[in-house]
Chains A and B, each alone.
Chain A
Amino acid sequence: MSEQFDQGVAELGKQIDAKISSYFSSCVHCGLCAEACLFYTETGDPRYTPIYKLEPMKKLWRQQHTIRGKLAKALGLSKPLQEKDFADWEELVYDSCTLCGRCSMVCPVGNDITYMISKEREGFSRAGYAPEGLKGATQRALEIGSPMGVTLKTVMATLAHVEKDTGLSVPVDQQGADYMTLFSSMEVVNFPEYIESIARIFDAAGVSWTISSKAFEATNSGIQIGNSDNAAEIVGRVVTAAEELGVKYVISPECGHAYTSIRWAGPNLIGRPYRFKVIHILELLEQLKQQGRISFNGKTDEPVTFHDPCQIVRRGGVVQPQRDLLNGVAENFIEMTDHGVMNWCCGGGGGVSANERADELRAKSFDRKRRQIEETGVNTVVTACANCRMMLEDGIEENEMETTVIGLTELIADYLVTDTKDQPEVR
């Protein structure tokens, strides 16, 4: 048994707090969480039942926290965790869980199964049992500052491009600005129009904002792989930069897990509260709209539906702003049957999209989203997460659906009323 594995088991043991202990005590193996998990509903494989993904942790809990388990261990009736346990479960812990949190909403005894899985990942990653894709992403996030290898130079090049296209200047390292904006690498790489939209909206609303040259990356691979040391390091960079610039707020971009990382996990990772507040871009836009600082010229008459990014809604608590905003720019907004905090995941959250090994399973589990979209009878899906957007577009392509995906912030920027008259009138 390797030293690394022992460290992993020790780490797993450390993760068992009162919550997890009460969760395991309460579980009666009713299996209802399976019905909430798209990996189970779309494959019918009972191994994908959420609570089953926690068997290794449960075994350890039983040996450390229950009378019977301690007794059994002392008498040699139960074996300690083996490398095989981790090897067999790695796929369940990383490939078949997007940390979407749906199971945590339905558990009759109220277990936050998603929380448990994210804690289980701490032990697994420490023991070296994590998918290569996530390992690489975390490595790059630590070394380069972005899981996708986006350097400051690249960001500056993209910003230059944005400045040129919008004719606006993007403030960098502006001391004392109100808001410091973060991006996800995905936005820099695949959806620079998000950055452009932000620049235009903030200009129209007169928001005092800046980007930090020291921390522009909002995502946190440390959270996804389950390594709190790495996660703390990544969050710490943002905190240091924001506090150096003396901003009042840090804006989390559309990206889902970036928000939970910086808003909810961050202070606990670095061990102290921030000296600034964290606000999600959708919350801010909604505020600006309410304050009358931005307004829209017309609405799209195209029927639209909204895909809720799990981490923003169910795990983040931002539920209403996106709906108010979307209603502001869309005539005909149709909700999916399960929406808001009970939405179905796109299938690519929690690091699954960065894990090539999971591609086949992910494609299969997209069927849930396909049916959901088809039920609405709408051809335009709006969302607010670069990763969800990619997953949706992949799935739509694979299933040959006639559906288009749009980012909400871009949609808003498209309908933004600006003082300059050269704005495009949109269809």
Chain B
Amino acid sequence: MSTIDNDADLRKALKQLNHEQLRETGADFVASVLHLSSDKRVAHAVDVARNSDASDDELLAAYKSARVATVDSRTRCGADCNWEEQAAHFVARASAAMVAPEGVCKAADPSWQVVMSCRMAQNCALIAADDDSINDESENQYCIMNDYLNSH
């Protein structure tokens, strides 16, 4: 199997996975930026997503509380933006899309939303730290995906 090193391949690879597998990879993606969020609801969502025995109800509950965490954490219009909090917001958003039972998350492509939100979270963290380095979360995600595919 060829290794993934660009978004096109990543998308293609994600498309091959079923919903449960997507949840597992999503959990890995979120976990890699989880340190940017201190919200327990987000961490809980990752735990639920990782638990292969989780029932649909549990998933739904985790999704809902992750969504509340998403709304709670974002910057209101016209408010001075705190980029650390904004990073946490994107982690929460990724976690919601990740843990959502099939068909619940209305984003055009929930798995891609997880990918993008994690990158945005990293981006916000870099802005917050006034760090000029390039956001390499996508490379990180290729590795995570490669690891996942290799281990399954």
Interface residues of A (CB under 8 A from B): 133-134, 136-137, 140, 147-150, 153-154, 157-158, 160-161, 164-165, 167, 185-186, 189-190, 192-193, 221, 224, 302, 348, 351, 353-354, 356, 379-380, 386-387, 390, 393-394, 397, 404, 406, 410-411, 414, 422, 424, 426-427
Given contacts A160-B134, A422-B8, A422-B11, 15 further A-B contacts (CB under 8 A): A136-B78, A136-B79, A147-B77, A148-B80, A154-B83, A161-B135, A165-B119, A165-B138, A189-B81, A193-B116, A221-B78, A386-B77, A390-B76, A397-B71, A414-B108
Interface of B is mostly: helix
Pairwise interchain contact B78-A137, C-beta atoms closer than 8 A: yes
Contact of A426 among B7, B67, B109, B123 (CB under 8 A): B109
Interface residues on B, range: 35 or more
Complexed CA–CA distance, A387 and B75 (Å): 11
Check if A424 sits within 8 Å of B112, measured CB to CB.
yes
Q: Give bound CA distance, A186 to B80, whole Å.
A: 11
A354 and B79 form a contact (CB under 8 A): yes
Chain A contact surface mostly: helix
Q: Which residue of B lies closest to A134 (CB)?
A: B78
Give 8 pairs: A residue, B residue, CB < 8 Å, sorted on A. A147-B78, A148-B81, A154-B127, A158-B123, A167-B7, A190-B86, A353-B76, A426-B109
A235 vs chain B, min Cβ distance (A): 17
User: B126: CB under 8 A from chain A?
Assistant: yes
Q: What are the interface flags for B1-40 relative to A under an 8 Å C-beta threshold, 1 for contact and 0 otherwise?
A: 0000011100110010000000000000000000000000
Q: Which residue of the partner chain A has the closest CB to B6? A: A167
List chain A residues, Cβ under 8 A from B59: none
B77 adjacent to A390 (CB under 8 Å): yes
- Cα distance A408–B105 in the bound complex, in angstroms: 17
| Interface contact A165-B106, CB-CB below 8 Å | no
Residues of A within 8 A of B81 (CB): 148-150, 185, 189
Which B residue's beta carbon lies closest to that of A151?
B127
- The contact of B123 among A133, A149, A161, A379, by CB within 8 Å, is A161
A29 to B116 alpha-carbon distance, docked (Å) = 53
Contacting residues of chain B (95-128) with chain A, CB-CB under 8 angstroms: 105-109, 112, 116, 119-120, 123, 126-127
Nearest A residue (CB) for B89: A190
Q: Which of A136, A160, A353, A406 contacts B77 (CB 8 A)?
A: A353
**Docked-complex contact A397 and B78, CB < 8 angstroms:** no
B105: chain A residues at CB < 8 Å are 404
Contact indicator A380/B106 (Cβ below 8 Å): yes
CB-CB < 8 A to A221: which residues of B? 78
Q: Min CB distance, A394 to chain B, in Å? A: 6
In the complex the two chains form, what is the Cα distance from A295 to B48 in whole Å?
40
**Does B44 belong to the interface (CB within 8 Å)?**
no
| Contact yes or no, A354 B78, CB < 8 A | yes
Bound CA–CA A161/B87 (angstroms): 14
